Structure 1
Amino acid sequence: MNARTQYQIGAAELDVVLAMVRSGTLAAAGERLGVDASTVFRALQRIERGLGLALFERSRSGYLANELAQALAEQAEQVEAALEAARSAAQQRPDRVAGTVRITTTDTILHGLVAPALKPLRAAHPLLDYELHAGNELASLTRRDADIAVRATRRPPQHLVGRHVGPIRVALYAAKKSAIKRVDDLDPATPWIAPDDALPDHPSVVWRKRRFPKVQPAYRVSSIMTVMELVALGLGVGVLPLFLAAQRSDLRQLGEVLDECQTELWLLTHPESRHLRRVATVYGHLAETLSLD
C-alpha cells in the first residue's frame, strides 16, 4: 500500500498511457513514441504496478482503455497542448505563423473545398505545413489525431467548437454525353453507381433505396469522388453534391435538388486547440473562405 501511495506518475508515464489510448496496440504506441513494442510493454507494466491498478483490458484485437486510463489520457492531452503552446510561443517570431496543422475531412470535401481554400494560405504563411487526412471515418479531435475537421453532419459533437459553413445539396447526375437527359429517362436497366459498402447510411443511399427499392447498383465504390468519376465516364447515374459537380463540364444534372438528402457542412476544432496560433490561423481562414455557393 505504501508503494502505491508513494508512486508519482510523471510526464513520461502520461505519454505512454496517451499513446496506448490513442493507438490501442503496443506496436502502434511504440511508433508514436519512437520506441519498440517491448519498451512500451515494460513501461506500461511499471505504471500499472506503481499505481496498483490495471489501465487496459487485454484482448486479441489490442488494448482497451478503462475509465482510469481515459482519465489519465485526458490529463495527458492537456499537458501536451500546454507544451505545444509553450514551444510555439518560444520558437515563433511575432510576425510569423509556423508549424503543422492536421486536417481531417472526406476526399470529396478535400478536393472540392479544402484544398482550393488552402492554396492562398500557403502564400500568406509559407512556414505552415499540413497533414491532410481524407477518409469516411472521423479522426478524433479529442485525442488530438487532428486539429481541424471539416465534416458533413446534421449534429456536430457538442464537445467541439464549430462553425456552420452551409447546407450540402445534392442531385442525381449522368454523364453529359449520356442518352439520359432527365429522371424520367431512367429504367430498370439503368446502371447506378453508389457508395453502399463504404457509406451505408449516406443520405443518397437511403434516398435511392426508398425511391428506387429494386435498384441494385452496378458499381459499389468507397467514396463520392469515385461516384463522380464513374458517372463522368458514362458508366451510370449517381447522386453527387452540387458544389462538386458544378466544377465539371462533363456532367448533367437530372431533375431537381434532392432536399431530403441535404446535410450540413461544419468546420470543427477542439476548444484546447483553437487558441494555438497555427490552428487559429488555418481555422479562421477556412471559416472565411469555405463556400458551398
Structure 2
Amino acid sequence: MTARTQYRLGADDLEFILALVRAGSFNGAAERLGVDASTAFRALQRIERGLGQPLFERSRTGCAPLELARALAAQAEAVEAALEAARSAAQQQPQDVTGTVRLTTTDTILHGLVAPALRMLHASHPRLEYELHTGNELASLTRRDADIAVRATQRPPQHLVGRHVGPIRVALYAAKDSSLHGWAEVEAGSAAWIAPDDALPEHPTVLWRRRRLPKVVPAYRVNSILTVMELVALGLGVGLLPVFLARGRPDLRVLGEVIDECQTELWLLAHPESRHLRRVSTVYAHLAQALVLE
C-alpha cells in the first residue's frame, strides 16, 4: 500500500475500527453501526488505503486486528468514554442518573444476586436502564460489549478493575420431602444425580463429583445450575448448589456440610475506560454494597 501522508483519521473512522475490533467480523461491525457488510468492507478498504498499511488480518473466521488497529481502538475507546460522559453531564439534572448500563454475568448469579440488587437500585435511580447478558465467558467485558461483569473466578483478568465480593460456597441438596438423610445414602448410590456435566464440564461441582464419586453417572444432565436447582426441588435427585442460591428455597434441604473443594470466589469487575462514567459507577458502587453471599 502507498502511504498518503495527508490522510486524516476522523471520528467516524475510529468508530468503525473500534466496532470491527470488538465484533471481529464485517457482519458484526456492520450490525453495530447500522450498515450492511459491503459498506463496512469498503470503509476498511478506504481507511487502509489512506493510511498506507493494513489494519486487520482477514481470514475465513473473521478479522484479527493488527498492532495499529489495536492502538487506534484504544484511542477510540477513550473518545467513546469522553463522549458518553459529556452526553450524560448535558442531559441529567444534578441528582439524576440516566443511561444504559450493560452488565454480564451467569444466569445463576443474575437470578440469585444481581437482579434482587438492581430491584433495590430502581427506587433511587428509576431512569437507569440495563442490558443484561448471561454467559460463561468474560470476552464481552474485555471487548467493551459490557460495562460491568459479576463473575465466579479464582483469577480475574489483571486489566479489569475488580472488587472481591466473597466466597461462593457449595453444598449438596435434596428436595425438602426427600427420604434421604445424609451422605451415606448418597455415596451408596441411593440417589439420582442432577448435574451440568456436558454444558459446564470444568465447573468445580462437576470436577469434584468426578474425583469424589467417579462411578456416579448423572441421571439428568442439564445446561445450567438453575436447572439443577429446579429439578432437585421437584424431587428428581440430588445436586450440588451454591448456598446463596438455595438459601431462600423452602422446598430444598441441605445434606451435610459445605464442600470446601467446590468453593470459588465472586468478583465484581469493570472495564477501566467506563468505570468512571456516572451511570456505571452508580451501579458498580451499589452492587459492591448489595451483593451479599452469606
Q: Give yes or no for TM over 0.5.
A: yes
Alignment match, 1:264: 265
Find the aligned partners of 1:10 and 1:113 in 2 and give their Cα distance.
42
Find the aligned partners of 1:59 and 1:2 in 2 and give their Cα distance.
23
Find the aligned partners of 2:93 and 2:267 in 1 and give their Cα distance.
31
Find the aligned partners of 2:272 and 2:64 in 1 and give their Cα distance.
26
Quote how far apart the aligned CAs of 1:272 are. Answer: 2.1
Gaps of 5+ in 2: none
Alignment match, 1:136: 136
**Could you tell me the percent identity over the aligned residues?**
74
Aligned residues: 293
Alignment match, 2:231: 230
Find the aligned partners of 1:197 and 1:280 in 2 and give their Cα distance.
37
Which stretch shifts more, 182-191 or 238-247? 182-191
Quote how far apart the aligned CAs of 1:82 are. Answer: 0.9
Q: Which amino acid aligns with 1:74?
A: A
Quote how far apart the aligned CAs of 1:108 are. Answer: 0.7
Alignment match, 2:252: 251
Alignment match, 1:210: 211
Residue by residue over 1:175-201, the C-alpha shift from the partner in whole angstroms, topping out at 9 and shown as x without a partner, is 122222211112336321111222221
Quote how far apart the aligned CAs of 1:204 are. Answer: 0.6
Alignment match, 1:279: 280
Alignment match, 1:197: 198
Quote how far apart the aligned CAs of 1:234 are. Answer: 1.6
Residue by residue over 1:229-263, the C-alpha shift from the partner in whole angstroms, topping out at 9 and shown as x without a partner, is 11111222111000111111111111110001111
Q: Which amino acid aligns with 1:105?
A: T
Alignment match, 1:240: 241
Gaps of 5+ in 1: none
Find the aligned partners of 1:277 and 1:87 in 2 and give their Cα distance.
11
Alignment match, 1:41: 41
Quote how far apart the aligned CAs of 1:128 are. Answer: 0.5
Quote how far apart the aligned CAs of 1:291 are. Answer: 0.4
Quote how far apart the aligned CAs of 1:37 are. Answer: 0.8
Please give the root-mean-square deviation of Cα atoms over the aligned residues, in Å: 1.5
Residue by residue over 1:130-180, the C-alpha shift from the partner in whole angstroms, topping out at 9 and shown as x without a partner, is 111111122433321111111111111111111111111000111122222
Find the aligned partners of 2:46 and 2:24 in 1 and give their Cα distance.
18
Which stretch shifts more, 211-220 or 80-89? 211-220
Give TM-score scaled by structure 1 length.
Answer: 0.95
Residue by residue over 1:43-71, the C-alpha shift from the partner in whole angstroms, topping out at 9 and shown as x without a partner, is 01111112222222222222222222222
Find the aligned partners of 1:271 and 1:18 in 2 and give their Cα distance.
16
Residue by residue over 1:195-232, the C-alpha shift from the partner in whole angstroms, topping out at 9 and shown as x without a partner, is 12222211111100100111222222221111111111
Aligned residues of 1:104 and 1:139 also touching (Cα < 8 A)? no
Moved over 6 A (4+): none
Alignment match, 1:8: 8
Alignment match, 1:124: 124
